[in-house]
């Protein structure tokens, strides 16, 4: 049986799920160990395979941990979680639990743990990294030196959560809170861009670089006058011109710091450029725009559309998705839009929906296999009478769905419904069948 475990629980005698990889350097083929179904390992360090060890790894489908020094070598690569095969080596001690329950069905493809196993950790990651970002942005605004190392660490933590289960962090992007330098907005954009990159097959080792750049894409707003930045209404032409300088400021701040790559600077500086050349600050078009800046542009607009402001209501998620979809091949990169829809799903978590039965409910858990059939919490009877408690149903399970299908998405603003209160109520009082838990 394969089990995902914390690297700190890896012991001599366990069998690591891994493969041997080859890399050519200066005309020599070097062999390295690559842990499969793992999290981390983005430090740039790798465990070298010497002699004929690579043949043993290839023949056995992994490596038996033979010494404490081997464990330390693996830890030094930055791995935080690895998969062991208990049919080929030692198991965990009885008092130590694996990261994901091996007695459940395996997580959906591309996920190392189940959504419900990651969501609470994802909330902690989101809160902690948002606080880190707020501090960093405040420091820059006050003329202090930004703690880049802490921001980079935050990027790594976000990446690891997304690699464990991308749907958990993505579901939390529905939460919007306005703050002076839009740290929550940066957190949402960062999450969406990293998730898009993961869905696109980006090398996991690159994700922290992308995550950090997306976290700081709006750092330039710290150089925009506060009376413009926090204006509770639409901008006058001269104010809009001042506001649009923030993209250039973001690039300048990152260059001045000296800790960021050209790629990261381009992501931040170009996130308002449009494919048809109508963006800013340089009116770049097409391939002139960095690929990950194109992804950031989509995520940035989506989060802005779905955020409530004094001068505008929040646009429902499905309407924002439709608007972005209509603009692909003009303002937005076609592939980036398709990736974005794949990342969010047809009905993002938190969507208020109506069923063919007349019942109303809220999307509570995603379904990566079929986004048309997510986990939902029924809030009303077919007569629209509120239920005594939310009733959680997995639309992908026929016996639970009982013929229910989502027929339309509702606007919570018009219905004066607080989505976060509803979600909290579902978590506290929602009724689940035993089958749903399993």
Question: Which pair of structure tokens corresponds to residue 238?
Answer: 């001269």
Identify the sign of the CA torsion 255, 261, 265, 266: positive
Bridge partners, 32 (sequence order):
21, 48
CA distance 174 to 160: 20
Q: How many CB atoms lie within 10 A of CB 364?
A: 25
CA distance 270 to 191: 18
CA distance 300 to 188: 8
Dmax over CA atoms of the chain, in Å, equals: 73
Q: How many CB atoms lie within 10 A of CB 301?
A: 21
Pairing relationship of beta strands 28-35 and 386-394 according to DSSP bridges: unpaired
Rounded to 5, what percent of the chain is helix, strand, coil?
45, 15, 40
Q: How many CB atoms lie within 10 A of CB 88?
A: 16
Element housing 154 (H / E): helix 148-164
CA distance 304 to 176: 10
Question: Which pair of structure tokens corresponds to residue 207?
Answer: 């994700």
CA distance 217 to 301: 13
Q: What is the 3-state secondary structure (H, E, C) of 364-421?
A: EECCCCCCCCCEEEEEECCCCCEEEEEEEEECCCHHHHCCCCEEEECCCCCCCCCHHH
Question: 101 Cβ partners below 8 Å, 6+ apart?
Answer: 114, 117
**What are the distances in angstroms from CA 233 to CA 208, 243, 309, 311?**
35, 13, 8, 5
What domains can be seen in the chain, in order of their start residue? 2-85 (no CATH), 115-344 (1.10.3210.10), 352-437 (no CATH)
CA distance 395 to 371: 10
The predicted pLDDT at position 50 comes to 82
CA distance 198 to 42: 14
3-state secondary structure of 332: strand
Q: How many CB atoms lie within 10 A of CB 392?
A: 22
Bridge partners, 5 (sequence order):
82
The predicted pLDDT at position 41 comes to 66
pLDDT in tens, the chain (438 residues): 999 999 999 999 999 999 998 888 888 888 888 899 888 865 556 788 888 888 899 999 999 999 999 999 899 888 899 999 999 999 999 999 999 888 888 899 999 999 999 999 999 999 999 999 999 999 999 999 999 999 999 999 999 999 999 999 999 999 988 776 689 999 999 999 999 999 999 988 899 999 999 999 999 999 999 999 888 888 999 999 999 999 999 999 999 999 999 999 999 999 999 999 999 999 999 999 999 999 999 999 999 999 987 778 889 999 999 999 999 999 999 999 999 999 999 999 999 999 999 999 999 999 999 999 999 999 999 999 999 999 999 999 999 999 999 999 999 989 889 999 999 999 999 887 533 333
CA distance 339 to 197: 8
The predicted pLDDT at position 435 comes to 35
Closest CA to 161 of 204, 201, 203: 204
Cβ–Cβ under 8 Å, residues 198 and 162: yes
The predicted pLDDT at position 438 comes to 35
pTM, two decimal places: 0.89
Bridge partners, 431 (sequence order):
391
């Amino acid at each position: 049986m394969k089990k995902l475990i914390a690297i700190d629980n890896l012991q001599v005698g366990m069998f690591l799920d891994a493969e041997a990889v080859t890399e050519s350097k200066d005309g020599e083929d070097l062999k390295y160990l690559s842990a499969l179904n793992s999290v981390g390992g983005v430090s740039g360090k790798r465990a070298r395979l010497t002699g004929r060890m690579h043949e043993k790894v290839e023949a056995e489908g992994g490596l038996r941990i033979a010494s404490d020094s081997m464990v330390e070598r693996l830890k030094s690569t930055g791995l935080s979680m690895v998969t062991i095969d208990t049919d080929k080596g030692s198991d965990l001690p009885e008092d130590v639990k694996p990261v994901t329950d091996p007695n459940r069905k395996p997580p959906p493809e591309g996920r190392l743990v189940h959504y419900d196993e990651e969501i609470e950790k994802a909330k902690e990651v989101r809160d902690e990294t948002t606080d880190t970002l707020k501090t960093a942005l405040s420091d820059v605004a006050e003329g202090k030196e930004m703690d880049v190392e802490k921001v980079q660490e935050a990027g790594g933590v976000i990446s690891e959560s997304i690699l464990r289960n991308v749907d958990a962090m993505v579901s939390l992007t529905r939460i919007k809170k306005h703050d002076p330098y839009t740290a929550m907005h940066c957190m949402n954009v960062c999450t969406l861009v990293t998730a898009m990159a993961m869905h696109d097959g980006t090398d996991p080792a690159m994700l922290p670089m992308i995550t950090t750049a997306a976290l700081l894409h709006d750092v330039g707003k710290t150089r925009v006058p506060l009376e413009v930045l926090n204006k509770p209404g639409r901008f006058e032409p001269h104010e809009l011109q001042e506001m649009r300088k923030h993209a250039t400021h973001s690039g300048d701040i990152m260059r001045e710091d000296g800790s960021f790559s050209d790629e990261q600077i381009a992501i931040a500086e170009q996130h308002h450029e449009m494919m048809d050349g109508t963006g800013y600050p340089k009116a770049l078009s097409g391939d002139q725009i960095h690929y990950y800046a194109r992804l950031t542009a989509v995520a940035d607009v989506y989060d802005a559309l779905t955020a409530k402001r004094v001068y505008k209501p929040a646009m429902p998620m499905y309407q924002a998705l439709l608007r972005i979809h209509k603009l692909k091949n003009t303002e937005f990169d076609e592939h980036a839009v398709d990736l974005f829809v794949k990342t969010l799903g047809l009905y993002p978590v938190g969507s208020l929906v109506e069923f063919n039965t007349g019942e109303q409910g809220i999307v509570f858990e995603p379904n990566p296999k079929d986004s048309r059939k997510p986990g939902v919490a029924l809030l009303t009877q077919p007569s629209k009478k509120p239920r005594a408690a939310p009733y959680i149903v997995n639309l992908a399970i026929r016996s639970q769905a009982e013929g229910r299908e989502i027929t339309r998405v509702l606007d919570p603003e018009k219905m004066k419904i607080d989505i976060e209160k509803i979600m909290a109520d579902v978590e506290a009082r929602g009724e689940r069948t035993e089958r749903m838990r399993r």
